[in-house]
Structure formats: C-alpha cells, structure tokens
Amino acid sequence: MATEATTPETPEMTPKASKIVKLDQPRIPVPARHNGRWSGYRHLLWARILELKREPEVIFWVFIFPLLLAAGLGIAFRNKPADVTSVVVIEGAGAQKTLAMLQNSADRSSSDKRESTKSSTIRATVLDRNAALNAFHVGKYDLAIEANPDGSYTYYYDPARPESVLSRAEIDAALQSAAGRKDTLPTSTQSSSEPGSRYIDFLIPGLLGMNLMNSGMWGVGFALVEMRQRKLLKRFVATPMRRSDFLLALTSSRLVLMVIEVGLLLGFGVLVFHMRVQGSILSVIFLGMLGAVTFGGVGLLTACRAQKIESVSGLINLVMMPMWIFSGVFFSYDKFPAMAHPFIRALPLTALNDALRATIIEGATLGSQSGRLLVLAVWGGVSFVLALRWFRWT
C-alpha cells in the first residue's frame, strides 16, 4: 500500500512577508525664534531677583534693621512728661528759706494743674558751696542758686546748655511768684501732641528715604563689583546682551524690595506709634520707586569702574556720608546755616525725604512737588547715563 510522504515547509518555501516602506514626509521648517527688544532685560531682571534668595543678610539689613532703628529712636524720643529741673542751693543763711520757696511754688503749680505734688518739675538740694559748684560744673544739676545777705539771688548757669538756660528762667519765675509777684496779664495754655507733630512722625519718612538710599547704593554697587571680581562680567561679554539692559536690570531689581520696605516701615509706624498717613499710598509708592531707581543709578555710577570690594565700600561711604548728615534724616536741616540750604536741597536724599514727609504728614500731592521730583529724576538719569558711558566689564 502506497503512502504519501509529506515534508515540512522550510523557511525558504514560505512566502516572504511584504515590507511596507514609508516615504519620508517633507519637514515643515520651524520659524526661527526672535526675541523681543526687552526679552534680554526681562531675563536679566528675573535672574537678579532669584539671586536675592542667596543673600539672607539682605533680609536683616533691608527689612529688620530699619524697624529696630525706628523702634529704638521712637521709644527714646517718645512723648513724655516735662523733664525735671534739677537745681542745687548753695548752703548759707537763706538756703532753707530758698528751698521752702521753691517747694511751695512747685506745689502751687501742681495744684493749679490738678496734678499730684509728686509730679513737680523742680527738684532742689542744699549743698555746701564747693560741692554745689563742682556738681553743677559736671552736669549733675542744671542750675546753682546762692542767696545773698541783702535778700537777692545769684544764679550760676551755663549758656551753652539749653536745659540750664531754661532752668534759670523757670527758677526765677518760681522765686518771683513765691515772693508775691502777680501776673498782670491773664494767659492760658493748651497742650497739643497730635499725630503728625511728634518726632516719630518726622523720623519714619526719613528712615524710609535713608533705607532706600542704602539698599540702592549697596545693593547695586556692591553686587556689581562682586560680579566683576568673580569674573562673571567676562562671561556676560560673550552673550548677545546689551550693556544698557544689564545695567537697567541691576538697577530696577531694587523695586521689588522697595515695595516691601515701604509697606513694613509705614505699617510699623501706623501699628506701633499710631502714625497717620495723610497722603495717597500710591503717591508714597511712586516716590519710593523713584527714589529706588535714583539711588540705583547713583550706585551704578559709583561702582562702574571699581575693581575691589574695599574700593567700592569707600566710594559708597564717601557719597552717602554728606546725605546722612545734611539731608534731614534724624533732624531738620534747617539747623544748618541758611546759606547752605540751596546746596542741601539739591541732594537726592533731601529731595526724597522732603517729598515723603510732605506726602505722609501734610497730604501733599505729587503735582505740588514737581521741583523735588525733578531733582530725583535728574540725579537718577544723569547717573545712569554716565555709568553706561564709563562702565567696563573687567
């Protein structure tokens, strides 16, 4: 019987699978990315803001230190009762009588004001002549009194000490009143210590202006020289970056800190010392922005060629020292001679402090302060142009 033999199929005998060949599709050209005119400036500004996170000391010097300074000075110069007049009576025949007259006059004055006798502003002590005069000369007493045999009095006072001059007038009025002198002209007094007239109201705008100057000068000038020392500016030269964009980003980066500075100081004054902001908050912010940019430009000009941290530190202190003294941060520049006032008002910190005080205390508008705004704009604009011209990368 015949059998049918079958053989397995070999791979050569299987039909080949058909291959699908995909033709390359034509590529659509991607248009080149064109950055706008201010793209480089935006990237530089954002990079500078991110760098501030690596500087924790900025938080203390820019935010905490001004608050501590305001708190310390506000407490030291707070509204308080009148200072006690400390006098010494030279021991002699009429010393005890003089002491009694001063005490009676003080008691009468306190009862007229409906106050306790413990709040008397006169404190008198009897000492022998040498001890009394020595204590007066070293400042332990404001005034020394000597009763003469004929019933008159001799006052020893120092005309260079304001408290000594005031004590002389007060003690003379007290003794004359105790001796029976009558005031022929009726008068009345009324105290006033409303917010706006206190020292803290004068101080807060000055501290705000000083802090904007410090942060602008040090934050820009110090950072620029540090980048120059670390050879970072050499790397920037190789990039398609405009010099003006770099310097402008470095200057305007202080605006971010400015908003926090203004809010912290003004909020601290309002909450702690019950300070009143009479003007517009937007006007205050605008003045802060203008001040930050102005001192950023001055900082750029100061550090545009400095090579070392020591050099720029000396230059910045040299520029800021006159403004610390003359621009009315802690006291009014009206105390200086009148012939110096035009030069003082031409300083940028003076213009900023005057504008801030006029806005915060008096409620003045920006339009009424065009002269001060012009001073700030000229200082900032001229400084930035000169820094752009003289700046070098290495």
pLDDT at 340: 92
Residue 346 has pLDDT above 90, yes or no: yes
Q: Which residue has the tokens 């900082």?
A: 299
Question: Of 64, 110, 57, whose CA–CA distance to 84 is shortest?
Answer: 110
CA distances from 301 to 185, 215, 306 (A): 63, 15, 10
Can you give the pTM of this predicted structure? 0.70
Between strands 143-147 and 153-156, the pairing is: antiparallel
Residue 11 has pLDDT above 60, yes or no: no
Cβ atoms 364, 279 nearer than 8 A: yes
Q: What is the mean pLDDT of residues 15-20?
A: 51
Residue 2 has pLDDT above 50, yes or no: no
Could you give phi then psi for residue 22, rounded to 5 degrees? -95, 125
List the alpha helices (DSSP H) in 192-253: 199-229, 232-237, 243-252
Q: What does the pLDDT look like over 286-298, one tens digit per residue?
A: 999 999 889 988 9
Q: What does the pLDDT look like over 135-182, one tens digit per residue?
A: 888 888 999 998 888 888 899 989 888 888 888 888 888 888 887 777
Q: What is the mean pLDDT of residues 316-329?
A: 91
Mean pLDDT: which of 10-19, 220-229, 302-311, 368-377 is highest? 368-377
> pLDDT higher for 20 or 173?
173
pLDDT at 373: 95
Residue 83 has pLDDT above 90, yes or no: no
Residue 272 has pLDDT above 80, yes or no: yes
pLDDT band at 382 (very low <50, low <70, confident <90, very high): very high
Greatest alpha-carbon span in the chain: 175
pLDDT at 3: 47
Cα within 13 Å of Cα(149), Cβ side = 0
pLDDT band at 74 (very low <50, low <70, confident <90, very high): confident
**Residues in Cβ contact with 185 at an 8 Å cutoff, skipping those fewer than 6 apart:** none
Q: What is the mean pLDDT of the chain?
A: 80
pLDDT at 177: 81
Q: What is the mean pLDDT of residues 55-70?
A: 77
What is d(CA 127, CA 267) in angstroms, rounded to the nearest whole number? 51
Cβ atoms 288, 259 nearer than 8 A: yes
Strands (E), 76-205: 85-90, 122-127, 143-147, 153-156
Strands (E), the chain: 85-90, 122-127, 143-147, 153-156
pLDDT band at 68 (very low <50, low <70, confident <90, very high): confident
> pLDDT higher for 234 or 22?
234
pLDDT at 193: 60
